[in-house]
Each structure stands twice: as C-alpha cells, then as structure tokens.
Structure 1
Amino acid sequence: MSNKEQVVGEVEITPENRDRIIKEYAPMIKYVANRIALRLPPHIEVDDLISVGVLGLIDAINKYDPTRGAKFKTYAEFRVRGAILDELRSMDWVPRSVRQKASSIEAVIHKLQSKLGRPPEDEEIALDMGIPLDEFYGNLHQTQSMPILSLEDLGIAKESGEQQSLLDCLAGKGDADPQTHLRLNELKEIIARAIDSLPEKERLMISLYYYEELTMKEIGEVLGITESRVSQIHSKAVFRLRTKLKAVIADEL
C-alpha cells in the first residue's frame, strides 16, 4: 500500500476515489464551515465557506503523508479550517474601523502586560485606552469575528532556508530535517505556554470553545454567564494569543 493508499475509515486515499473521500468527509466540512459562520456577518454565505472547505480537503488528500504518523482526520480538519480562514482573510471583509479597534486593543494589552508582568484587567485596558468600560466591551464584541491567525502563517524555515508551513510539517511533507523538527517542537511548546499563561477563565474558554467545541451559548450555560459575556472573554483570550503568537513569528522562533 503506497502513501496515498492509506485507509481512512473504509476509504483508501487514492486519486481514483477522491470523490468518495470528499463525500465521506462532507459532514465535517459543513460542521467546520457552520461553526466559523456563527461569528461572521450575515452577508457571508455558509455555502461559499463549504466550497472553500472542499478545496481544503482536496489539498489535505494531496499533501497527506501517513508515514509521519498523523491521523488523516486530524490533518484534514486543519486543512479545511485553514482554507476557510485564509479565504475570509483574502476577502478583507472586516471594516477598517474594526481593524483599527482590534489593533488598538492588541497594542494596549501587549503594553500593559509587559509593564505589569501579568494579564491586565478589563478596567486597566479601558483606562489606558481612555474609553469607558462599556465602550471597551462594545469594541470587543465588534472584533470577535477576527480569527487568531491562520496556521499557514506559522511557517518554519528549514536548514535550506526554504519556508515550510506548519501544516505541512505536521503532515510530514517536504524534507523533514532535524532543524525543522526542533523548531516545530519549539513552536508547539510556545503555543502551549501562551495558552497556559492566560487567566484561568480565558484558558477555560479556549479549552471549551476550541477543544470541546462548544458554542458560545453552551459555554455560557456551563459557566453560568451570558452569551455576551462569553464573547467578551473569548475576544480577550484571542487578543492575548494573537500578541504572543505574532511575537513568535516576528522573532522567527
């Protein structure tokens, strides 16, 4: 059995049965697309996201290497989600005013965290921005649909100097030289530390939303808070992670 003939469920990955694989994974694509759409404006069509997700799945089929030990289902979900987020970013549908607010919040969080040596409180962020607390919460709500970062942004430079995406590293594509493996492990540790450094409630939010895959409404029911408050906590966690991950990219690990 060749690399492309790895069995996925009851379907083998081969060029000849690509349509069968896409059909088998169609529910996953729809689930991911609908989940992302929950945080998007109404004019973004879910069907368009699903179409992009199909392209992401095809990309996963073409690039998957089972000899690296990663499960196809996990890799396919990464590719589908990444393709949809990349498409949203290329559409540049977020208004400039919202991007400016997001940049301002991100900069203040980074400044205060460096100054205080701890995650800043909501009141401290609002005070530094010179706006009432309610306005700060309103800004958080407006920026909630902006993704953290596409995994494709977290590229890793190989010894040859060529840039290799994190997703390809996870799938084992390309020349997996020792330096690439080392830098990938470093990146995983940095991301884990970034999540661990979040305040407890924000860390729980990341776990429930991204790992347990609960909706904002379901998380609110679990934590006993309103869906609006859940959205605020999620947005703050996203800004903190964006700040840390951007620093990683800027320093090239």
Structure 2
Amino acid sequence: MPTSVSAKHHPHDDAPDTADSFRRLADLPPGPERDTLRGRIVEAWLPMAHRLAGRFRSRGESFDDLRQVAALGLVKAVDRYDPARGNAFESYAVPTITGEIKRHFRDHMWTLHVPRRVQDLRNRVRFASQDLAQTIPGRRPTVAEIAEHANMSEEDVLVGLEALESFTALSLDAELPGSEDGYSLADALGSADPALDTVVDRESVRPRLAALPERERAILYMRFFGDMTQSRIAEQLGISQMHVSRLISRCCGRLREQIMRDAAA
C-alpha cells in the first residue's frame, strides 16, 4: 500500500489534498509506517501553517518563533483530526493553529501577567477600533461607539483600551514624551520617606511613655524632643547630671524591654 501524500492540490498551493492519507493514517497501528505518513502529512501542510504565522509577524515576536509555534499547532491538529467526522482538515487545522499562536502571545509576550478576560477584552476592542476606523476616518472612535459595535459595556471597553497600552512595559529610563532635557520616568517616581520607618516605633512606644512617672517622662521629653543636654536638664530639675544619666538609661532600658515583650506576645 503506498504511503505517499496525494499530489492533488486545492486552489491554494498551501492546502494539499491529504484526505486519503488521513484515512490511511487513522487505520494504521502505532509504528514506523504510521510515523512516516504522519510526518509527510505535517510536511505537506507546513506552508499553510507558515502563512498563518505570517498574519502575526508585526506583533513584536520573531517570525521564526511564530513559525515554530504554528508548526506545533499543526502537529496537534494532525494528531487530533478525525476524518470520520467528514470535515475537511483545513477547517479544523486553521483554528487550531491560530489558537496555538494566540496562546503563545497570551502566555509569553505580555511583560506582566494579565488575566485572560482582560486579554480577550483587549482583542475585541482592538478589532472593533480597526473596523470603525474604516467608517469614521480622521478621528478615533469613542468608547460608546466601540461598545455598540463590539456589543460590550462601556466599562469593559475602558478595560480593553487600558490593556491596549499594557502589552509591554515602559523602561524607567525612557524619556518622557515632550521632555527636552532627558527627563525620564524614573525622575518622576517618588522615594520612600525615611520618617516612615519610625512610625511603627513611635506608635509602639507611645502608650509606654504615657505610663512613666511624670518626672521620668519629662526628662525623656526634654532630652529627645527638646534636644536639651543632660547638664541643662539637671540644672532645670535641680538634680545632678549623673542622676539624669541614670534615669535616662533606666527608662530607655525598661521601655525597650516592654516593647520587645509586647512584640513577642
């Protein structure tokens, strides 16, 4: 029994007539003969797979990678196609290959992970915008026009429009539009306020400070909030500087111990 792919072609050169080959493939048991026939069928349909990949070549992915993805989709289509259903292989292979390419973009080309629903909204908005651009030249379609054309809510259109600008990330070193002095996005970003690091500490110590005896609380306030020296504090309270030093050390040690104990509780 011959195993070559039929030489008869459809009107398009990349759509060969492999109906007989598929029927033989379905009847063959696993083995070298079946693998050879399967490979010849795949090879016969590769031009069509490459043509489908060409439709996506302007979307930022290399054409060689797209051809490989399309070939993978073709192999899946060949393995899953059932000639007994009576449908032409091309009608099954085209959506299978196209779907494989779209999955590749969805899974590998987005800089950040974007939910599939948002990606679908993006595609619907993009196609609707392209259609409307043919009928309303000179301006962009409005949100309401896109929503009506694509049978979407205006909220979903806004999500899709935002996703249109989110396929790739902008470098922080990129110069901002309209900037003439090299002003970049990084220059517009804020930085962490060092004072924020002390917020938790201050809030933790506040109730413990309030519980100190009045004189000790006053000494700590004058030293750490009034920025007074120990000598001035001693002079103001009528005690020795050594006594002030001991009180400060004792209070700070007690506060530290209490706060650490609270944190561990």
TM-score norm. by structure 1 comes to 0.37
Q: Which has the higher contact order (CA 8 A, sep 6+)?
A: 1
TM-score norm. by structure 2 comes to 0.36
